[in-house]
């Protein structure tokens, strides 16, 4: 078993800057922060794509815990909704190791393009849908099955791309389940914790995780994540949706660009 390192040892200051940016994004958008961590590890610290995804997934564990705690401990939060996050986690835990295995063995440019197209459609929907912050989930067979399916998609993408899966979970909870953006972010972050852990186990055994760098990024992000959560409560649902849509578009463009670059490198 080996501990992955980039071509040049990463300076702690650079890792903490990455963690700070990722933490604020994670808290505000209800995502793990991998959409920030992975490209910065690749382009700023000379990580390989697989190593960056694997290291990011471990860092996301700390970010998700801090962000989830900040949302859940907000006055007025209904702790009964934690059970819905548990339902999502059933699917995410089951599929995260499979996504991680695919990340280690399969080329992913085509998957990235398909995911990017999905994100673009999601972004358009977010621009035209404004959730009410009073909307909640109610128990039904359809809701449970839908949340498990969402968890499966979330877990697979978490393992495959090194992101927390919140870019899928938050818009889906808002658009398909009709919950408020605040509740969607809370549920996403809670469900993300077991998904990130599940995907990390296999990556660690394969020697793809830089534990030191992941810890530095994750701890810094965890410290700053509550700031993002505080901003999420201040910003109106209209602006929160628009900003999330913009982040989704950015993520889609990033994935398409990366897929095109990898395709050129293999030709």
Q: Specify the pLDDT at position 6.
A: 52
Q: How do residues 143-202 score in pLDDT, each as one tens digit? A: 999 999 999 999 898 888 777 788 788 888 988 898 888 899 999 999 999 989 988 998
Question: What is the reported pTM?
Answer: 0.81
CA distance linking residue 164 with residue 144, whole number of Å? 21
Segment 46-70 mean pLDDT: 91
Using 50, 70 and 90 to split pLDDT, how confident is the model at 133?
low
- Tell which wins on pLDDT, 50 or 214: 214
Using 50, 70 and 90 to split pLDDT, how confident is the model at 128?
low
Give the residue ranges of DSSP H helices in 106-236.
Answer: 109-128, 141-161, 166-175, 181-205, 211-234
Per-residue tokens: 69: 């705690």
Using 50, 70 and 90 to split pLDDT, how confident is the model at 8?
low
Please enumerate in sequence order all residues whose Cβ is within 8 A of that of 43, keeping only pairs 6 or more positions apart, or say none.
none
Domain map of the chain by residue range? 12-266
Residue 79 carries which DSSP code?
G
- Residue 195 and residue 154 in contact, taking contact as beta carbons nearer than 8 Å: yes
Per-residue tokens: 97: 């190791």
């Amino acid at each position: 078993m080996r501990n992955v390192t980039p071509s040049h040892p990463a300076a702690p200051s650079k890792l903490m800057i990455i963690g700070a940016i990722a933490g604020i994004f994670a808290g505000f958008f209800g995502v793990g922060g991998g959409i920030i961590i992975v490209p910065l590890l690749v382009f700023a610290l000379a990580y390989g794509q697989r190593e960056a995804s694997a290291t990011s997934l471990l860092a996301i564990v700390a970010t998700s815990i801090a962000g989830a705690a900040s949302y859940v401990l907000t006055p007025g939060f209904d702790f009964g909704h934690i059970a819905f996050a548990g339902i999502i986690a059933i699917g995410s835990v089951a599929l995260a190791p499979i996504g991680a295995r695919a990340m280690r063995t399969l080329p992913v440019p085509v998957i990235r393009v398909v995911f990017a197209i999905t994100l673009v459609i999601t972004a358009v929907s977010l621009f035209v849908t404004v959730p009410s912050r009073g909307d909640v989930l109610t128990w039904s067979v359809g809701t449970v099955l839908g949340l498990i399916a969402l968890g499966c998609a979330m877990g697979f993408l978490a393992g495959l791309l090194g992101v927390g899966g919140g870019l899928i979970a938050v818009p889906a909870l808002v658009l398909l389940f009709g919950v408020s953006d605040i509740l969607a972010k809370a549920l996403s972050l809670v469900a993300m914790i077991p998904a990130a852990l599940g995907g990390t186990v296999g990556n660690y055994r394969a020697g793809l995780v830089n534990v030191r760098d992941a810890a530095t990024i994750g701890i810094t992000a965890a410290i700053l994540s509550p700031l993002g959560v505080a901003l999420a409560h201040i910003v109106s649902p209209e602006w929160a949706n628009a900003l999330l849509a913009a982040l989704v578009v950015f993520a889609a463009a990033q994935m398409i660009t990366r897929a095109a670059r990898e395709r050129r490198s293999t030709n």
